[in-house]
Structure formats: structure tokens, C-alpha cells
Amino acid sequence: MKIGMRTPSLKKSLKARTTSKWKRQTKKALIPGYGQKGVGWIKNPKKALYNKVYHKTTFGLSDLFTPSKKRMKKTTKNQTSTKSTKKYTAKNYKEAGIVLIVIGSIFLFLFPPLGFFLFITGFISYIISYLTLKHEKNKRKDI
């Protein structure tokens, strides 16, 4: 049994990526159990056990660049447990408005309909920021 890094095979990885959707669909229609999880344990348990151990004891180049599943689960649990609703402030609207106005003015020369849309959207966002800032100031005065 191999332990350590798997030798990368460009030919096999390209073959796995380019296997067509239709080919998999026809195999799934013709071969019972094709593409279903856990069927390998029924058909060939020795091979399934070997593959499981091989996958656990070795790692490939792609594994070095992707975060582990355990770490991903921890971060998603932390994110879902804290209920945070994003509050948009006047500053957010103002920044978005300025960015959209700049992008819109650039696109006005390159692609006029899109540039006009972005410019108007940025202008509306900037006005919303002005109105929310005014509203926040009035709220502070009342309190």
C-alpha cells in the first residue's frame, strides 16, 4: 500500500474531466447501480476497501490547494450559528454610488446603454445614501 503523495497523471485527470455527460447518462441507464454511492462495496468489496485506504493514506496535488473538509465544516457551522443581518449604512450606499458613477461614466464611452444604466444606478444609490444619512441624523436628534 502506498503512503504519501500520489504521482500526478495529466492524461488520467484530463480523461476524467472530459468524459461526456451523455456517456455517463447512457451508462447509468444501462448498468444498474452505476453512479450510485456505496454500490462499490456490494459489487467488489475488496477493491472498495483498497480504494478507501489508498485515498486516506495518500494525497494529490489538488489536495494541497483545497482546504480540508473538516475545516470547511467548522467554518460553515460557525457562520450558520451566528445570525447576522447586514445593516447597510449611508456610507455603504455612498461608496457604491460613487463606484457605480465612475464605472458608468467609463462605460458611457465604450457601451452607452450599460454605461447609462450604471451611471443612473450609481446616482440613485448616492441619493439614497444622502437621504438615509439625513434620516439617521434626525433619529439621533430625537433621542
Distances from the Cα of 52 to the Cα of 4, 8, 57, angstroms: 14, 18, 9
Cell of 23: 456517456
pLDDT in tens, 64-113: 777 777 666 666 666 555 556 667 777 788 888 888 888 888 988 888 88
Q: How confident is the model at residue 24 (pLDDT cuts 50, 70, 90)?
A: confident
Q: How confident is the model at residue 50 (pLDDT cuts 50, 70, 90)?
A: very high
Domain ranges for the chain: 20-80, 90-134
pTM of the entire predicted model: 0.41
Q: State the virtual CA torsion across 114, 116, 122, 125 in degrees, nearest 10.
A: -100
CA–CA dist 120, 105 (Å, integer): 10
β-pairing verdict for 4-5 and 58-59: parallel
CA–CA dist 35, 51 (Å, integer): 16
CA–CA dist 37, 50 (Å, integer): 16
Q: Does position 43 have pLDDT exceeding 90, yes or no?
A: no
Which amino acid belongs to residue 13?
S
Residue 80: strand pairing partners: none
Q: Which residue has the higher pLDDT, 74 or 51?
A: 51
